[in-house]
Amino acid sequence: MADIDRKDKRALGVLSETVTAELGPASIVAREIDRAYRSGREADLRTASAAFNALPGWQRTRIDSDAGRRAKRLKSQLLRGTARDWRDLDDDPRINIPSPPRFLRPRP
């Protein structure tokens, strides 16, 4: 049993959410992709791939574009969580520098 790497597992999770939203949770394709996402087994991945490829082309294209949008949104949320949001600063132009600790002050 070969485990899938983290990137593929995240991508499969996004695909699983998208297929469930598009086709509904009772869909065979949605269940197979969700099973492959949860187990990570090679056999489940092959079954999910076959089920997805059995969908009509227009449906696969729509799911692909929706999954791409979800992945971009997720990526921007992850990046936003680590970056400093400079918009939350006050409009006060003065800089408040705290006084240094006593042990750093020069002796008189």
Query: What is the tens place of the pLDDT at every residue in 8-56?
Result: 888 899 999 999 999 999 999 999 999 999 998 889 999 999 999 999 9
Residue 23 near residue 68 (C-beta atoms within 8 A): no
Residue 103 pLDDT > 70: yes
Nearest Cα to Cα of residue 16 among 45, 42, 41 = 45
CB within 8 Å of 66: residues ≥ 6 apart: 18, 21, 22
Q: What is the per-residue pLDDT for 101? A: 72
Residue 93 pLDDT > 50: yes
Q: What is the per-residue pLDDT for 86? A: 62
Q: What is the per-residue pLDDT for 77? A: 77
Percent of the chain with pLDDT over 70: 75
Q: Is 107 left (phi over 0), alpha (psi -120 to 50) or beta?
A: beta
Q: What is the per-residue pLDDT for 51? A: 94
Q: Tell which wins on pLDDT, 79 or 43.
A: 43
